[in-house]
Structure 1
């Protein structure tokens, strides 16, 4: 039986320098480890300068056969990629961005890097900043279109061994509850669910409504609120590899007094880039949870 992908994806691709050069770098692991999914999907990659140089050096263009080169970052390549996120022309716009971020690389906090993530959230496009997140996203996009599952990733989809963090800014809490109710069955498969303050309390109320008072009262383990240090508490669990997936619904339109705490949690995920991942917007999370449910059942 043959399958045809409904729409050829366009994916922005950039990696910080420390994720490019070595033979076992995150860029190399991503493309070689995702060969099956990439071969099936046949996406077009829009690649920023030096990242493409590294792909050539490592002989990776046989995997990524459809490539558009953007300038080096110092020449505006990352700025151009931000423009492609917001472009209304489907022939030019990217559908997702893979930006393999080294948390200690200063370029990851340059204005264009911050804007790239923010515009992905605003325009409801996946922003994948870790090796684990990018590999899972490619795997899910391929398998939902009919590709065989990659057995190398099976262990990470055994959700009864996994932990997930569920976090939402104030303006996004209702959307988090709607997502959790819609996808309750897959979230209920996880061995551990964690949340910051108010979000955790609201999710436990939802669980009690669905599962009953006794079964739902501790469905989520709540930590402190974000401004009081809850993000830092969750970051420790990420660094200890007890939380692989973080669903953090951000409101990109408001200034946040606890911005450093938010960055701390994302930085923790990027520190264990081969393990943890963050999803930041509602439509992408809805799609991800749908596909995650199907992939975990294979």
Structure 2
């Protein structure tokens, strides 16, 4: 372990952890793969895990409990464990809050659409805390956060860093389109390295206007491939590319304060990412997305490629 990262005065990173049943039971389940793939990142970070009932049972069963120390056990979901986790997302007391949530969601598990599960994601977005619902998202976030803490010896070969062979989707609700433009302008050189960029509706048009301003009218004209607007089916178009593993990363700036008639379309896109949990990841708030892009750029500078 990197001793420089575990000084007595450093506050522990507190991570809420839960996995649906299908991601717990098998010896190669997403939960087990999380600890196997992210071993070096976890060891480089000073983590206190907040684990919901049955997920902790599975961790012990699969013999990876040494990587989940120290931890706090929450009740089983049926006894309110997930509800308690929501309360700790919104708690402002550093000793009783969580900094991020890893919720490995099986897209066909009906418990993932229980009110407490939906509230957990929404409150993470409101309080600007990472909500990591796929294996790929959790592994990449842990690796980048370890880098942010100063470790450069934990890198995993499984973190995709060849952006020239990858695609990214950029989506923003109306109130957050300017936020998306600010993020895109700030990290334009990084986003420009992706092989393809996709967006829905107006967001795509605005991003192409930004690209024309930066790269020139002709070079920036088709910087982003725009799809239909979200309510008209753009989310579904992007979801198909995610399922085909043609889009790995999705920056989706959600406005949690507005009623959305096309909520089902939004959930469809998230469901697509969770269907290919070891491949795709979704980032849902501006601050988290900006930090992720910044750290990804730093990670690329450390790449031997």
TM-score band w.r.t. shorter chain: over 0.9
**Which of 145, 164, 167 does residue 168 from structure 2 map onto?**
164
State how 1:82-97 maps to structure 2 within 5 Å.
Answer: 82-97=86-101
Q: Distance in 1 between matches of 2:30 and 2:55?
A: 11
State how 1:67-86 maps to structure 2 within 5 Å.
Answer: 67-86=71-90
Q: Distance in 2 between matches of 1:2 and 1:37?
A: 13
Query: Is residue 189 of structure 2 the alignment partner of residue 188 of structure 1?
Result: no
Unaligned runs of 5+ in 1: none
Q: Offset of 1:145 from its aligned partner?
A: 1.9
Q: Which residue of 2 aligns with 1:276?
A: 280
Match of 2:219, SS state, is helix
State how 1:35-54 maps to structure 2 within 5 Å.
Answer: 35-54=39-58
Match of 2:94, SS state, is coil
Q: Which residue of 2 aligns with 1:4?
A: 5
Match of 1:213, SS state, is coil
Q: Which residue of 2 aligns with 1:136?
A: 140
Q: Distance in 2 between matches of 1:151 and 1:10?
A: 22
Verify the 8 A CA contact 2:37 2:156 in the aligned structure 1.
no
**Which of 141, 155, 159 does residue 150 from structure 1 map onto?**
155
Q: Distance in 1 between matches of 2:85 and 2:148?
A: 27
Unaligned runs of 5+ in 2: none
Q: Offset of 1:151 from its aligned partner?
A: 3.6
Verify the 8 A CA contact 1:120 1:126 in the aligned structure 2.
yes
Verify the 8 A CA contact 2:40 2:154 in the aligned structure 1.
no
Q: Distance in 1 between matches of 2:148 and 2:166?
A: 21
Verify the 8 A CA contact 1:3 1:145 in the aligned structure 2.
no
Q: Offset of 1:297 from its aligned partner?
A: 2.2
State how 1:14-29 maps to structure 2 within 5 Å.
Answer: 14-29=18-33
Over the aligned positions, Cα root-mean-square deviation in angstroms equals: 1.1
Q: Distance in 1 between matches of 2:156 and 2:262?
A: 40
Match of 2:168, SS state, is strand
TM-score, normalised with respect to structure 2:
0.95
Verify the 8 A CA contact 1:121 1:252 in the aligned structure 2.
yes
Query: Is residue 228 of structure 2 the alignment partner of residue 224 of structure 1?
Result: yes
Q: Distance in 1 between matches of 2:44 and 2:274?
A: 27
Q: Offset of 1:47 from its aligned partner?
A: 0.1
Give the length in aligned residue pairs: 297
TM-score, normalised with respect to structure 1:
0.97
Match of 1:247, SS state, is strand
Deviates more, 1:21-30 or 1:7-16: 7-16
Q: Distance in 2 between matches of 1:2 and 1:105?
A: 40
Q: Distance in 1 between matches of 2:106 and 2:188?
A: 33
Query: Is residue 67 of structure 2 the alignment partner of residue 63 of structure 1?
Result: yes
Match of 1:138, SS state, is helix
Tell me: CA distance 1:89–1:28, structure 2 relative to 1, closer, same or farther (3 Å).
Answer: same
Verify the 8 A CA contact 1:32 1:63 in the aligned structure 2.
no
Q: Offset of 1:150 from its aligned partner?
A: 1.9
Query: Is residue 35 of structure 2 the alignment partner of residue 31 of structure 1?
Result: yes
Q: Which residue of 1 aligns with 2:180?
A: 176
Q: Distance in 1 between matches of 2:11 and 2:144?
A: 15
Q: Distance in 1 between matches of 2:74 and 2:47?
A: 16
Q: Distance in 2 between matches of 1:113 and 1:261?
A: 18
